Structure 1
């Protein structure tokens, strides 16, 4: 990102979230509120976060969780600039994700310099600003909300670290690998919340359900390409949004384009 640049991300397919990334900003804000849950991360420079009567100085790597309706302001130190990320999440949607997992959302402002929390926000924003499928972005958002709750709160309770049998979920992903399967539908099959499903799936397979499904599609694509099917036809058969999405996913996993793979096969 170039100096003094601000980028905004919003997708009508995911109306519950929007994001902003600012570099070398000197903009200052009066105390204000948001109707959303707001998660900020400081990338560079130093800033001052105020939420009356508290004043907290933030260094790079800081993460701030601001519930909906909380008065606050975050500004660079005088005569200085800072770089930051800010993600706004619809409060009712975030509450629903956490309610499914048996936990109420954090109702007060939290500030931390925990490295894992900062990495979680950066990872989410990287996915949101990418050209990943909306299902993958939703999974990343659910995962980040749940992970931050564990890092900033008292941890998830009850159900939850016990290993679950995910056979029914993997079977569905296998049999319907060319379908866009909503995260909520997969969670219902597993008998888990959306966050618990992602957490258990990452623990067992090292990836999200959507990434697992993409792997199945790419392995199927290899077979079809070896049979001589045209890459455009393969993309359509396997339910990719368009051919460019198929090429990108294939190259990320095979290190060559579908056409190049077909020629050497």
Structure 2
């Protein structure tokens, strides 16, 4: 049986996006989101990897809470399929409505009751229920998460060295800046920059740039932008290049991502 994936989005609830994947073989490169993310494993084993060397095995019913900006990857065990759900919450909205969950540490929860509540809440999001009912269920679930006992993973984010601050500023102003330009901003050689940047963020500068482009592509796809225009705007060689990079990070093609919004 081939794997399936579905997304839910609603313009009335712009602070939340949800995804369900069944019997997926998708594997993800290390990446980060500008959102606070909550993943739930429905079936099959998987490995959660952060920006450090540590790995955590997840099983049926495991929940993972990943702060915005935390570099991570979660992939199925070799030669197996897995089923999972993924919730993305606007970081500012989370800070305003569930500040107890905000932080720098990825968290694994092993709580059958909480997993069941997550599944019921996510099923409600995908249903035809009203926006107010969906939002209330979401807030109730986040409150339950804040009250649950958790086993925190080692912090995946460290204070950024001052020397790298100009690099991030350059990336924000010029997302497609070259490695020599970024190295010059930090007054480092390209090799020194790659080593320092990876140690601080869990990614090379190039991988960080690609991750930024994918996150920007998500927003533009949700707004209805044409794929060719998005590829050109974000500095990809062509539409096919964007498709390959997007799928490697998101586990789905840009066209399917845009077409499956609710």
Residue of structure 2 equivalent to 1:30: 29
1:112 and 2:114 matched: no
Instruction: Give the Cα separation in 2 of the matches to 1:21 and 1:152.
Output: 25
Shift of residue 63, structure 1, vs aligned partner: 0.4
Number of residues of Structure 1 aligned to a counterpart in Structure 2? 150
Instruction: Give the Cα separation in 1 of the matches to 2:113 and 2:47.
Output: 22
From 138, 141, 162, the counterpart of 1:141: 138
Residue of structure 1 equivalent to 2:62: 62
1:124 and 2:121 matched: yes
TM-score for the superposition, normalised by structure 1: 0.54
Instruction: Give the Cα separation in 2 of the matches to 1:111 and 1:76.
Output: 16
SS at match of 2:148: helix
4+ long deviations beyond 3 Å: none
Shift of residue 112, structure 1, vs aligned partner: 2.1
Describe the shift of the 1:125–1:3 C-alpha distance in structure 2 as closer, same or farther (beyond 3 A): farther
TM-score for the superposition, normalised by structure 2: 0.55
- RCO (CA 8 Å, sep 6+): is it higher in 1 or 2? 2
Consecutive unaligned residues of structure 1, counting only runs of 5 or more, are 155-265
Instruction: Give the Cα separation in 2 of the matches to 1:23 and 1:116.
Output: 21
Consecutive unaligned residues of structure 2, counting only runs of 5 or more, are 152-262
Q: How does 1:1-265 map to 2 (within 5 A)?
A: 4-51=3-50, 52-99=52-99, 103=100, 105-152=102-149
Describe the shift of the 1:26–1:121 C-alpha distance in structure 2 as closer, same or farther (beyond 3 A): same
Shift of residue 53, structure 1, vs aligned partner: 2.5
